[in-house]
Amino acid sequence: MKAGKSSLLVFGASEITQYINKETIKDTLWMPVATFVTGLGMTLMTASVISWMVDRVARSYNARKVANERQEIRDDVFRSIYARFFSEKILHEFDATLFNSEVLKIDTRIEMELTEKEGSEFQGEWLLVQYKHSYKIRNVTSGEIEHPIKLVLELPLRNALKGMCRITRVEIQGEVYSGADLETQNLITSCDDYKTLETKRKLSSGEEITVSFTYQTVKKIEDYELIVMLVPTENIAITAKGFKGLTLKADSNNSKRLTCRKYNDYDCEWQLNNGMLPFQSIAVWWKTSEIEQSSSEVDGC
């Protein structure tokens, strides 16, 4: 019986109870009858509400179950198709790096500024490189995850220069941390070769957050930066600013080439409006003009 009908029955029984609860008839048989009818109405209404709640939960459960089964079918079909062309080792790598990925990285933006510095420690062989690196990360699973947010700086071999390599600012979905904050919270660890920042954030299904790093390191005057994607990534833009006498180039380890906007030899912007798989990369490298003129031309900007 519907909840509305049960409510009507309870209302009617209550009216009967009030009517017969008068001095003239309160001792008649109508009183237990009315009490029975009222109790029956309440019981039916409660049963109706419980039935409605159970039905709603069951529908939600069945919807999730159907969605999961559809995803499993799609995965099985995909694996069956690709199993005709690839070995189990290749399929295992697909699973390890792509199919089991919990997040999608979107709109990566990296700004690099290369600067000549005076001082005996630089000796005309080293450059200070400052970075601004931002991206969005989205949970693509159907449940909550705890996603690691990590940044690794490679330290120069010269001990006198290692102190110049530092993480100066981190922003995670509007929460800002200075380098001192990160050190105080023990989020940065160091060894002879690397300085590492690592923290975690919980993301609900479909949730998207913005992450931004500001940091600096020291590189050789003839050197490179290898930017490796560890999760599936869409849309990358890289800006590099140098100085007169330096030539910058870049290339992608991807099916698509970089789109280059060349302002001059030492001030460039590259874009890759394509998807990148885990462990694909973009390399940015630089040389002085004298070295560049004596070397063969390399494709790039």
Residue 164 DSSP SS3: coil
> 25 Cβ partners below 8 Å, 6+ apart?
none
Please choose, from the candidates 240, 237, 234, the residue with its C-alpha nearest in 3D space to the C-alpha of residue 275.
Answer: 234
Question: Bridge-partner residues for 115, per DSSP?
Answer: 128
CA angle 147, 151, 156 (to 5 degrees): 160
189-206 pLDDT per residue, tens: 988 899 999 999 999 999
Q: For 136-166, what is each residue's pLDDT tens digit?
A: 999 999 899 999 999 999 999 888 899 999 9
pLDDT in tens, 223-234: 999 999 999 999
- Is the confidence at residue 126, as pLDDT, over 60? yes
Kindly state the DSSP code that residue 16 receives in the 8-state scheme.
Answer: H
Q: According to the model, what pLDDT value does residue 117 have? A: 85
* Contact criterion met (CB below 8 Å) for 241 and 271: no
SS3 246: strand
DSSP 191: -
Question: Using one digit for the tens of pLDDT, what is the confidence trace for 17-48?
Answer: 555 555 544 555 555 555 655 555 666 666 66
What number of other Cβ atoms are within 10 A of residue 161's Cβ?
19
Q: Taking all residues of the chain, what is their mean pLDDT, rounded to a whole number?
A: 81
Contact between residue 129 and residue 112 where contact means Cβ atoms under 8 Å apart: yes
Q: With 0.75 as the threshold, say if the pTM is over it.
A: no
Alpha-helix runs per DSSP H in 164-256? 179-184
Burial environment of residue 100 by CB neighbours within 10 A (0 to 12, 13 to 18, 19 or more): exposed
